[in-house]
Amino acid sequence: MNKPLKVASVFVALLVTFALGWFLAATGTGQAADPVSLTDLERRFTERMQNVALEGHFTLRGRDRSDGNPELYEIAKVTKLDGDRWRFDVHLAYGSVDATLPVVVPIIWAGDTPMVSITDFSIPGLGEGFGARVIFYDDRYAGTWDHGAHGGLMYGAIRSMDED
């Protein structure tokens, strides 16, 4: 598969993922938790993830560049829903799409560190078996991602967009 097709496939996968998150939120799946009910760690995480950009790199197992491939995710806010489900309001600008879309994922805690944890995550139109573990600590994020035989690492800085 040539590089432009690979890049296009990744963007299509992201677009479908964001569309799924939007659909779940638009249908009322998951309501925001009462802010008073948040633990100190949850409250600090929601405050830290207000108007930030995840700016870094991702790799492709077996085809890795030593410096990774650039990635950028702009997050307007993160909201706790019910149980371990959280909504990330992510700005997506690709092709004719330029919108902030809600993406609902589970967050588990490793001590004081929040981690997106998806296993066998289904994305309509793309299939099943998506997985990721992404941690957020201080001003950095890092993790792994996979889908079938493809996967890799993702890592970078959490940067406030208010400072721009």
All domains in the chain, ordered by first residue: 3-163 (2.40.128)
Where do runs of H (alpha helix) occur along 27-79? 40-48
In this structure, what token pair is assigned to residue 149? 């035989």
Give yes or no for a contact between 72 and 90, defined as CB atoms under 8 angstroms apart: no
End-to-end CA distance of the chain: 37
- List pLDDT tens digits, range 18-57: 666 666 554 345 578 888 999 999 999 999 999 999 999 9
Residues 41, 107: Cα–Cα separation, whole Å: 12
Residues 154, 132: Cα–Cα separation, whole Å: 10
Residues 106, 52: Cα–Cα separation, whole Å: 19
Provide the mean pLDDT of the chain: 83
